[in-house]
Amino acid sequence: MESCLFCKIANHEIPAEILYEDDRIMAFKDISPQAPVHFLLVPKKHIENLMETAENDESLLGHILFYAQKIAKQEGCEEKGARFVLNCKTDGGQTVNHLHLHVLGKRMLYWPPG
Ligand code: 5GP
Ligand code: ZN
C-alpha cells in the first residue's frame, strides 16, 4: 500500500535500523523503544493486521515467529527470554496498520498489560 509507513520501510523508502531481511519479511528496531531490546518484524507484503490474514499466509506467520525468536537470541535475550506481542486493531492498541510483531527484551516486563 503506497501510503503505509511499514510498507515504505520494507521497501527501503524510509530508513530504519534493519536487523534482518529476506524476500518475505524485515526486522527493524522500534523508533521509540520500550525496552533495551525492542524490534519489529513485518511481512513485506501489506497485511493490515493479524485478523486480515488468509489461509495462504500461514507459513508467512510461522516465518515471522521463527525469526522473532532467532533474532531475539542474537540480541542477547536467550537466557532471560523476551516478550513477543502482536497488537491488533483498536482494542489491541494497534497504531500502525501493517501487521507487525513486537519483540521486547533485556528488562523484566509485567503482566497483565495496562
Ligand atoms: P503498534 O502500537 O501499532 O503495535 O506499534 C507501532 C510501533 O511502531 C510503535 O512501537 C512505534 O514506536 C513504532 N514506529 C512508529 N513509527 C515508526 C517509524 O517510523 N520507524 C520505526 N522504526 N518504528 C516506528
Ligand atoms: Zn503496509
Instruction: Express each pLDDT in 24-65 by its tens digit.
Output: 999 999 999 999 999 999 999 999 999 999 999 999 999 999
How far, in Å, is the centroid of ligand 2 from the Cα of 52? Answer: 12
CA distance 102 to 106: 14
CA distance 42 to 21: 10
Q: Which atom of ligand 1 is nearest to the CA of 14?
A: 19
CA distance 69 to 63: 10
5-105 in CATH: which number?
A: 3.30.428.10
How far, in Å, is the centroid of ligand 2 from the Cα of 6? Answer: 5
Q: What is the pLDDT of residues 7-35, one digit of tens each?
A: 999 999 999 999 999 999 999 999 999 99
Residue identifier of the C-alpha nearest atom 24 of ligand 1: 31
Residues 6+ apart with CB under 8 A from 98: 1, 4, 5, 6, 7, 42, 46, 47, 48
Ordered by start, the domain boundaries in the chain are: 5-105
Respond yes or no: is residue 98 known to be catalytic: no
